[in-house]
Structure 1
Amino acid sequence: MSDNSVLIVDPVSSGKLYPPLLEQLGINIIRLDTEQSLVSGFRNGPTAGALDFEADLGGSYQQLLQLCVERSVKYVVAGSEPGVELCDRLRADLPDCPANDPTLPMRRWDKQHMFEALAAAGVPTLATRAVANRDEVPAEAFAELSRGRKLVVKPARGAASVDVRLVETPTQLTDAISTITDSSALFGGHSAALIQEMYPAPRVEFAVDTFSAHGAHELLCVSVYDKWVSGSGDFVYERGRWLEHDDPIVGELTDYAGSVLDALGVRVGPAHMEIMSGPLGPRLIDFGARAHGIGHPQHTYALTGSSQVHRECEHIAELFGVRAPATDRRAGYSLSRRGALVLVSIDRQARYLGGAEADLIGLPGVVEVRMAAEQGRTYPATKSMMDSVALGLAFVVADSADELDFRCTEVRKRVADFFAPE
């Protein structure tokens, strides 16, 4: 067992996957909960065995840093989006801890600084403007709407598509901005609103998941999102499908993702990128300096034999001398089967009747079902990916793309029978 330790900041969402893997490798771990993960709804109560940053350390960064030094923390993991900023800061301050470029660290979690950094580095981006409130909306934005163009409004700090909205009229634009700036942000405090041009059709959204070490970037998987826009302009995700490594678009996305990582100063750890592609070529629309959420890495591991989480744990073990460094790293990945995560959504307020999990798990190709909805509880119309996760999801596999489409459609039809509109 190594004498060094790993600190996992906000080990929720896919962050839950790290402790058992690291413990199997004989590596000491420290779990840390922060208020950000609680107020954002990423967790509803204390994480078992975790320190509480506010209750146990008084919210003192210096106390946390001292604790990490005393317990020989030599690597820090961002267990979920709420912990990214604290993780990045600790990496820079801890002796002998791999860290990202310390210049303008906020470019890795604040989208206003993120898109400014990409533009400064010459990385192609969508035109993006930041506003502090509805009164700051530039005349150009209203002019674009008057010409029939659509715009996207999103928080500068956020995750899981919360408060990301498509707008077509001046009223929708100002209302969407007020929703973000007039209330508490996802992680507490307040967030600026971003007004971003809508990628022209035809467009497809992809998720690109990477791992970086020593400044080099590895591709772990690429998936494509299928989604629809609700009547209120919210983006509702139906499913994410894993793409084959030899799909023609994967190479183009990989090259673009590498330029994004370099522009944002990413040198260590996993990154999750959402990239739109079409007639303009790839354009970043969202970024997280952490592993893909909602447990996605465990399904990537089932399909490819690796994942961002598994790769990072292997890297930590090599750094700590628990295992010898690998002499070869696969170029890309290979799918053993076709796979998709189907996200449960409802287009109107409905009551969950219960029993969906037992019914769905018997369908062909359904490997896992996680119904989070509570029997008898009424849920609002789905507006974000977090809303979907609060309802449930299913992991579906097949031997062909057509078979996968059929099985996913059957899951969506069956799950709808377990929600009664109210």
Structure 2
Amino acid sequence: MNEQASGATVAIVDPVSGGKFLASEFARRGWSAVAVLSRPTLPEFYTAQLCPDDFLDVIQADGDVDEVLARLAAYQVRAVLPGAETGVALADELAERLCLVGNGTALSAHRRDKYLMMDVLAAKGIPVPESGSFDTAADLVAWTEAGPGWPVVIKPRRSCGTDSVYFCQDAERARAAVAAIVGQINVIGELNDSVCVQRLVTGDQYFVNTISRAGRHSVCEIWQDRKRALPGRSLVYDIEELVPYGVGPTRELVSYVKSVLDALALTEGPAHTEVMWTAEGPMLIELNARVQGSIITEPVTAALGHNHVTRTVDAVTDPDSFLATVDEPYHAARRLRAVSLIAPDDGQIGDPSLLCTELIPTFAGVMGDVRAGRPVQRTVDLFSSPGCVYLLADTDEEIERDTARIRAIERDGLYAPR
């Protein structure tokens, strides 16, 4: 581990997923970092991303917050941030106990639990899909048939990445979904003791990345998020498209998302908020009180001049400058698209060299392990996708051309049987 640099230190709770980029960005500003692991049972796909050399110390919480605080007392901790979804609640608690800037713990659970989130927003008059929470299929079916009716979406209350999201057209499918979720450990290692059920809303889906400071919210970027629905089951990530500010419903989305942030008392730090633009207007899918999980920072910076991580660090290390620009709209200088890889069957990576600028001229990077021979499974959700290819271009035509080339490469050469 690195020796402590002079100056301030940030504590990052579960510095994995998109949060794995935070420590190095803080280091560029002269800050040191301490890693706090929220529990010893973090899933392997998270812990494999941890880079201990980025930190002065790696502290295992193990359920004892007082011990974590005692360990942090050795450092000049001036900020606490979550790195991943699993770190949100502990980051709130540590910041509160250390009397640092933070979102507090009063609504901490509501910023993670999909049902509680919808419940508090509905109580404040913010449009959201009708939602319920149940641990038995019988109660869920009765609520649905007496209320919103079919179809509905059923999912774990505290998970992420389209884990176990079911689209149910009738009671039979709903019973199967509840049986598949309740009592199971979800992808981030937590027990699903109940489900969240919501009226299915349809339209164009977006996600809005924001950073907040002192209750003011800066919109870092807005993406249109296109997913494919598998029959009766989960969503597969397909395409994410950076939307220039002012195009389509972006201004209305910004207003809506800011109202969601205010209602959930998210006054500090990053958020990744998913919204469906429906015939009724914007409807929240879910809010995540941390940086975007799946990201390559370089292409985003090339298009925008910043990314969700750099702006998050700006707000912590130089709040005055951040607040001076907090209301400025972002400017997309280039087109940017992220194309998720979708493996049709179990197998392995065949020829990753096909993902290159010679065959894909707008290729700007690939996220994920696409080494030849690496096992892959049939893609059914975010976590089973082999990776994601970023395309950066000056025109929409170039982006569309190279998206088609990626899908052709997937059909012929990228995957191979085991």
The count of residues paired between Structure 1 and Structure 2 equals 409
CA drift of 1:194 comes to: 0.8
| Residue 12 of structure 1, aligned match among 11, 16, 25 | 16
* TM alignment of 1:19-98, pairs within 5 A: 19-35=23-39, 38-39=42-43, 41-44=45-48, 47-49=51-53, 51-54=57-60, 58-95=62-99, 97-98=100-101
2:164–2:233 CA contact under 8 A, matched in 1: no
Q: Which amino acid aligns with 1:331?
A: E
Report the Cα distance in structure 1 between the residues aligned to 2:199 and 2:326, rounded to whole angstroms. Answer: 38
2:349–2:415 CA contact under 8 A, matched in 1: yes
Q: After superposing the two structures, state which structure 1 stretch, 107-116 or 355-364, moved more.
A: 355-364
Q: Secondary structure in 1 aligned to 2:398? A: helix
Q: Secondary structure in 1 aligned to 2:201? A: coil
The CA RMSD over aligned residues, in Å, is: 2.4
Report the Cα distance in structure 1 between the residues aligned to 2:184 and 2:205, rounded to whole angstroms. Answer: 29
* TM alignment of 1:358-369, pairs within 5 A: 358-362=354-358, 363-369=360-366
Quote the residue 1:150 is aligned against: 151
Quote the residue 2:106 is aligned against: 103
CA drift of 1:298 comes to: 4.2
Q: Which runs of 4+ in 1 moved over 6 A?
A: 323-326
Report the Cα distance in structure 1 between the residues aligned to 2:353 and 2:95, rounded to whole angstroms. Answer: 41
2:354–2:409 CA contact under 8 A, matched in 1: no
CA drift of 1:280 comes to: 1.1
TM-score, scaled to structure 2: 0.90
CA drift of 1:84 comes to: 1.1
Q: Secondary structure in 2 aligned to 1:38? A: coil
| Residue 197 of structure 1, aligned match among 199, 206, 214 | 199
1:273–1:286 CA contact under 8 A, matched in 2: yes
Q: Which amino acid aligns with 1:112?
A: Y
Q: Secondary structure in 1 aligned to 2:281? A: coil
Quote the residue 2:388 is aligned against: 393
Report the Cα distance in structure 1 between the residues aligned to 2:40 and 2:217, rounded to whole angstroms. Answer: 29
Q: Which amino acid aligns with 2:174?
A: L
Q: Secondary structure in 1 aligned to 2:249? A: helix
Quote the residue 2:299 is aligned against: 299
Q: Which amino acid aligns with 1:399?
A: D
Quote the residue 1:284 is aligned against: 284
CA drift of 1:281 comes to: 0.4
| Residue 408 of structure 1, aligned match among 396, 403, 406 | 403
Aligned-residue sequence identity (percent) comes to: 24
1:365–1:398 CA contact under 8 A, matched in 2: yes
Q: After superposing the two structures, state which structure 1 stretch, 350-359 or 3-12, moved more.
A: 350-359
CA deviations 1:249-275 (Å, max 9, x no partner) are 100000000010011000100100010
Quote the residue 2:186 is aligned against: 185
CA drift of 1:143 comes to: 6.4
Quote the residue 1:339 is aligned against: 336
Q: Secondary structure in 1 aligned to 2:258? A: helix
1:19–1:29 CA contact under 8 A, matched in 2: yes
Q: Which amino acid aligns with 1:351?
A: G
1:107–1:264 CA contact under 8 A, matched in 2: yes
CA deviations 1:124-168 (Å, max 9, x no partner) are 0001111123343241425679x7x32111111011111112122
1:357–1:370 CA contact under 8 A, matched in 2: no
CA drift of 1:332 comes to: 1.1
Q: Which amino acid aligns with 1:29?
A: A
Report the Cα distance in structure 2 between the residues aligned to 1:11 and 1:37, rounded to whole angstroms. Answer: 15
2:348–2:372 CA contact under 8 A, matched in 1: yes
Q: Which amino acid aligns with 2:217?
A: H
CA drift of 1:73 comes to: 1.1
CA deviations 1:231-263 (Å, max 9, x no partner) are 342211111000010203100000000010011
1:40–1:187 CA contact under 8 A, matched in 2: no
Q: Which amino acid aligns with 2:401?
A: F
Report the Cα distance in structure 2 between the residues aligned to 1:47 and 1:420, rounded to whole angstroms. Answer: 31
1:160–1:385 CA contact under 8 A, matched in 2: yes
Q: Which amino acid aligns with 1:404?
A: I
Report the Cα distance in structure 2 between the residues aligned to 1:143 and 1:380, rounded to whole angstroms. Answer: 39
2:15–2:50 CA contact under 8 A, matched in 1: no
Q: Any unmatched runs of 5+ in structure 2?
A: none
Q: Which amino acid aligns with 1:398?
A: A
